[in-house]
Structure 1
Amino acid sequence: MTLSSSFSNNPDLDSWLHIHADGRVTVYTGKVEIGQKLTTAFAVIAAEELDVDLDRITVQTADTALSPAEGYTSGSMSMENSGTAIRQATAEARRVLLELASEKLGEPVETLTVTDGDVGGEHTNQHVSYWDLMGDKQFDREVTDGATPKNPDQYRLIGNPISAKGIDGLVTGAMAFVHDMELPGMVHARVVRPPRYHAGLKELDEAPVRAMAGVIEVVRDGSFLAVICEREEQAVWAAAKLAGLAVWDDKNALPSADIFEQLKNNPRESFPLADGVPQDIPVQSPETPAKAAATLSSTYQRPYIMHGSIGPSAALACFKDQGLEVWCHSQGVFPLRQAMAGVLAMPEESIRVSHVPGAGCYGHNGADDVALDAALAARAIPGRPVLLKWERADEHGWEPYGPAMQMDVQASLDDEGRILYWSHETYSDSHMGRPADHGEHSRLLASWHLENPRTPPIPQPNMGFQSGIHRNADPIYDFPDRRIVKHMVRELPLRTSSLRSLGAYANVFAIESFMDELAHESGADPLEFRLKHLTDERARVVLEAAATHAAWGAVDREDGHGRGIAMARYKNQKCFAAVVMDLSVDDFGAITLHHAVIAADAGQVVDPEGLRNQLEGGLIQSASWTLKEKVDFDGGGVLSRDWESYPILTFPEVPTIETVLIDHPDQPFLGAGEATQGPTAAAIGNAIFDAIGLRLRRLPLTQDRVREAAAEG
């Protein structure tokens, strides 16, 4: 048995679980709960391996004082890394506990049985519980490969529907988010950002603000501005007043050229890929095979898009006894602690960062930045906790966006309609902008505005497997020859970082849209065309399951109605997902989504409802990106500052969704949180073409895009 990579930095069994004398079991993870129900899945895994009731399990998420260091919650790796670690750790704990019980009861381990933590023997009426055996003691040993987890035929819980932990509090409004926290003596703060990128503070008359009711302190450090008040509404009013009094310089306007022109014309570093890994060798030009009967090429484009969390970011911080404690919704509390220690010139061990749920986000939004904002405010009034919340304009205008991207795709077909050659080039900015220890540099927003600023590090090309720009740029299909190239483009205008699925969303949109174009060119059914180029058996099963469940090819459709299909395997090594989308386009170009079918293979399914939520939530978010979302900006800055200028999908616009799960109890977990992003976009684009015969290649696929395409013929 290969141990989880999460044990490399956290080998002690006590880092992963604790048996309490009162019958409770705490399981520790370095991952965070952001709505993906991983705490439920982890609890199920632990209860299964330990043979205890699920209600006994509490999952402690990322906290630098309590949990194992597992980096970021990202990349659809929580189940594969932390889930596997918890399975192996709890199996090890059960082995140790049974050995202790064997000594206590005088029975061989093989004859012992466990019911809800109570251990009994075959030859005696005596029993002993886990809690009696441990009594709050430590295991004092490392996790080894000596314990074998249960076989699937022994499962009681795994694979069965489970109510999510904490769901009652969520649906009744009783659950507290970081925004709702209250501590004794707590005060409230707001930050005042510059009106645009690169603007600096020139003048400020603080006196009128300091004279306002409830104002405790105006914090000014270079161009960083915040106000602290006794009550939250006072902080809102004082921040508005402060913003009106601040005078900013007008230097360094943003480049106003079309972003896709910048992607093609700006300086860049280019790398061909081999098996998903960039190679530091010259890029060769695309070819046209001698046997090609037809060669097609297309360009697909994605604008900047934002995380669009419904609730703006928030954090609570308190300086006390030479230390700092921060509560926030960061997805990487350990790297954030490193980054904050550098900016604040504090020893890392004097800072504690605890994750508290916040507004939903898959990726790097303002959660880390607001933590530093709160800390800078709290430093001005030691001993009093400071709750700092961003406003909507802060979130929309300053969060790190998902980068704009352009994909140039070319392929050649033989005279039997098979793909002979495939070329895919992706142009983009970095997708990796999360904070960590960057030495003299920093990726935290406020650090750039201080009197002694820390500049952001220059992003380096990510040369890892299926990372960033080139994630899913390599199709899952079988082609005799392929050429995949990533271009990391420099000097682009907006701040970027990780957004759910990174480059996979746009790359799969391009690949699966182009597969439909090639199918149309060869006169083939889009499903059959894909299957003709697909030998991976699990991928074929998923694609066929989606098609079968949607009755592909057997449904008569009215004029203006269309359906599209698309599939991918996230990172070419995680969850397989296929999507069939039914929609209509009216005479005015308005697009309505009607019904979607998802089929997915995520390996062993622990929590079916949790997995469905992941896949369906991904489809909904992807549909919103695909139909609506785009960050607008000009030389004066970001223009998308509210929900009118950055619309997202509304509840009435969400299609009905059916999800088919293909369970493999004997296979490892496969990360599924980002699997439907790309297939959804392409399925929508392909359905639009099926409905009205127009191919839309620039996202978002809006009513205006339909009209433009119709006008162009």
Structure 2
Amino acid sequence: APMEPHTAVAHFEGDKLTVWASTQTPFGLQRALTRDLGMSSENVHVIAPFLGGGFGGKINFDQAIQVVKIAKIAGKPVQLAWTRADEFFYDTHRPAAAVKIKSGLDGSGKIVMWDYGIYGMGGRGAQLFYDIPHNRITIYQRHHLVKTGPWRAPDNNTNSFARESHIDLMAARAGIDPLDFRLRNIKDEKFQRVLKAGADKFGWTPAKKFPSGRGCGMACGFDVGVPVVLFAEVEVNESSGAIQVKRVVCAQDLGLVINPQGIALQTEGCITMGLGYALTEEINFTGGRIHDENFDTYELPGFSWVPEIEMVLIDADDQPSKGGGEPAIICMGGVLVNAVYDATGARLTQIPMTPERVRKALAERA
């Protein structure tokens, strides 16, 4: 839900067309227009001005196709801008999904069996970086009632939430500290280095005690070749169900870092955006009808939500550079649900973790 809505301007001049469009895929738009209009690519000029937020949602360019058709009929330059209600109705949404996991441990705390089923979305982020000899990952495709599409680190947010929630459950069942449990079950030395560096920065210690209603958690992820680990401290108001994130530490191995300031900003953006999908952002619909029309019912993170954010970049100058625009966001659901459990003893199994769902989980805890 970027602040800038989908917008475009189309102008025909003789046999030439110029389109200014808010899109992440200008060349894809050019190909679509040349195909639909029967024009040569030399005569279709697409200009993509500075984007007012995209995050995957502006890979699609329906508004540009619409405005070109209108401009062709009108014979005049035309601008089209979707209203916020149009955004919620026409745009794509992150696919809803359910994940079912069966697992097994041996006596030493090693994971020996992993049966992972995804219902309703893809498998990005489901690939194992834990060392499990007997494993199966199955994707069950389902049709959705509303349009779905890319959302920053598609699928990996949900898969990481499910996997890391379950990993913490297994650690608790084995009676092993969550950090030690992960170190036992991840052999990759680079990943272990990220885990240890993040834990040192956060000050993770087994059985660390916080005041009532406060707790900490951790979660691991892997995206576009980047191992990433998040640690978080939260405070939960058990009366209201509100979650306040106090501190987040992000450790990742991005290879050779070319622009440290850019990586810092991307990481802060990922963590802030991750607060939304983890805590509040949810589409309400009945059948195929979406009820949300603006940000009064679709709550986005505000500046007052942003916690203290610290970053650890692993020194890997001998490795090629990797993208830092998405990895940090994938663990936000997992790290916060684990921290909430540590703070309250209530295990949530659905995101976003709205106050209503938190209160329900608190009432149902053993």
Relative to the length of structure 1, the TM-score reads: 0.50
The code of the aligned residue for 1:324 comes to L
Would the aligned equivalents of 1:640 and 1:646 in 2 still touch at CA under 8 Å? yes
Judge conservation of contact 1:604–1:666 (CA < 8 Å) in 2: yes
1:512 Cα deviation from its structure 2 partner: 0.9
CA distance in 2, matches of 1:519, 1:579: 17
**Contact 1:318/1:325 (CA < 8 Å) preserved in 2?**
yes
For residue 405 of structure 1, the aligned residue among 70, 80, 97 is: 97
Work out the CA distance in 1 between the residues paired with 2:318 and 2:133.
Answer: 32
- Which of 52, 59, 77 is equivalent to 1:359? 52
CA, structure 1 residues 538+636, in 2 after alignment: closer, same or farther (shift >3 Å)? Answer: closer
1:386 and 2:78 aligned: yes
Give, in angstroms, the shift of residue 604 of structure 1: 0.4
For 1:585-596, list aligned pairs within 5 A: 585-588=236-239, 589-596=241-248
225, 230, 234: which one aligns with 1:579: 230
- Counterpart check, 1:426 vs 2:78: no
Contact 1:519–1:529, Cα closer than 8 Å, also in 2: yes
Contact 2:251/2:312 (CA < 8 Å) preserved in 1?
Answer: yes
Note if contact 2:145-2:287 (Cα within 8 Å) is conserved in structure 1: no
The Cα offsets for residues 160-211 of structure 1, whole Å up to 9 and x where unpaired, read as xxxxxxxxxxxxxxxxxxxxxxxxxxxxxxxxxxxxxxxxxxxxxxxxxxxx
SS at match of 1:676: helix
Match of 2:137 among 465, 484, 487: 484
Match of 1:652 in 2: 304
For 1:313 and 1:367, the matched residues in 2 are separated by 9
Structure 2 CA distance for aligned equivalents of residues 596 and 475 of structure 1: 24
Determine whether 1:370 maps to 2:63.
yes
Q: Per-residue deviation at 1:661?
A: 1.2
1:358 partner SS: coil
User: After the TM superposition, which residues 624-703 of structure 1 pair with which residues of structure 2 at under 5 Å, given as runs?
Assistant: 624-635=276-287, 637-703=289-355
**Counterpart AA for 1:361:** G
Partner residue in 2 for 1:514:
166
AA at the equivalent of 1:397: F
8 Å contact kept, 1:595–1:655: yes
Q: Distance in 2 between matches of 1:422 and 1:636?
A: 35
Structure 1 residues 439-459: Cα deviation after superposition (integer angstroms, max 9, x where no partner): xxxxxxxxxxxxxxxxxxxxx
Q: Is the 8 A contact 1:516 1:686 kept in 2?
A: yes
Q: What is the CA distance between 1:329 and its match in structure 2? A: 2.5
| RMSD (CA atoms) | 1.6
Question: Counterpart in 2 of 1:253?
Answer: none
Equivalent position of 1:63 in the other structure: none
Choose from 310, 315, 324 the match for 2:8: 315
Matched residue type, 2:33? M
For residue 213 of structure 2, what is the aligned residue in structure 1?
Answer: 560
SS of the residue aligned with 2:316?
coil
1:556 to 1:646, Cα distance in 2 relative to 1, 3 A = same
Deviation at 1:689, TM superposition (A): 0.4
The residue number in structure 2 matching 1:337 is 30
For the 8 Å contact 1:366–1:400, the answer to whether it is kept is no
Query: Shift of the alpha carbon at 1:560?
Result: 0.5
- Measured against aligned partners, the alpha-carbon deviations of 1:365-386 in whole angstroms (never above 9, x if no partner) come to 386112112212221333x432
What do the CA deviations read for 1:115-143 (whole angstroms, capped 9, x no partner)?
xxxxxxxxxxxxxxxxxxxxxxxxxxxxx
SS of structure 2 residue aligned to 1:353: strand
Q: Is the 8 A contact 2:344 2:362 kept in 1?
A: no
Superposed counterparts of 1:421-570, under 5 Å: 421-429=113-121, 469-490=122-143, 492-553=144-205, 556-570=209-223
Instruction: Please say if residues 475 and 511 of structure 1, whose CA atoms lie closer than 8 Å, have aligned partners that are also in contact.
Output: no
User: How far 1:345 sits from its partner (Å)?
Assistant: 3.8
Instruction: Give the deviation of 1:342 after TM superposition.
Output: 2.9
1:506 is displaced (CA, Å) by 0.5
1:643-686 Cα shifts (integer Å, max 9, x gaps): 01211111101111011111322211112211012211100000
Match of 2:43 among 350, 359, 368: 350
SS state at 2:4 partner: coil
Would you identify which runs of 4 or more consecutive aligned residues in structure 1 move more than 6 Å?
none
Q: Is the 8 Å Cα contact of residues 249 and 309 (structure 2) preserved in structure 1?
A: yes
Contact 2:24 2:58 in 1 (8 A): no
In structure 2, C-alpha distance between the alignment counterparts of 1:426 and 1:635, rounded to whole Å:
22
Deviation at 1:313, TM superposition (A): 1.5
Larger displacement relative to structure 2 (507-516 or 627-636):
627-636
Alignment of 1:64-463 (within 5 A): 308-365=1-58, 368-382=61-75, 384-429=76-121
Q: Which shifted more, 345-354 or 582-591?
A: 345-354
SS at match of 1:688: helix
8 Å CA contact 2:25–2:59 kept in 1: the answer is no
Alpha-carbon shift at residue 493 of structure 1 (Å): 0.6
Residue pair 2:168, 2:338 contacting (<8 A) in 1 also: yes
Instruction: Tell me the equivalent position of 1:215.
Output: none
Please give the alpha-carbon distance, in whole angstroms, between the structure 2 residues aligned to 1:639 and 1:627. Answer: 19
Q: How does the TM-score come out when normalised to structure 2?
A: 0.95
Partners of 1:509 and 1:679 within 8 A in 2: yes
Q: Secondary structure at the match of 1:412?
A: strand
- Asked whether the 8 Å contact 1:313–1:366 carries over to 2, the reply is no
Deviations 1:57-96 (A, max 9, x none): xxxxxxxxxxxxxxxxxxxxxxxxxxxxxxxxxxxxxxxx
Distance 1:529 1:505 in 2: 22
Higher relative contact order (CA 8 A, sep 6+): 2
Contact 1:406 1:427 in 2 (8 A): yes
Task: Tell me the distance in 2 between the aligned counterparts of 1:402 and 1:705.
Answer: 20
| Distance (Å, rounded) in 2 between the aligned partners of 1:636 and 1:476 | 37
State the shift of 1:593 in Å: 0.7
Deviation at 1:428, TM superposition (A): 1.6
Unaligned 5+ runs, structure 1: 1-307, 430-468
Deviation at 1:612, TM superposition (A): 1.3
State the alpha-carbon separation in 2 of the partners of residues 539 and 416 from structure 1.
21
CA distance in 2, matches of 1:561, 1:628: 20
| Higher-Rg member (1/2) | 1
Secondary structure of the residue aligned to 2:327 is: coil
- Is this contact kept in 2: 1:542–1:577, CA < 8 A? yes
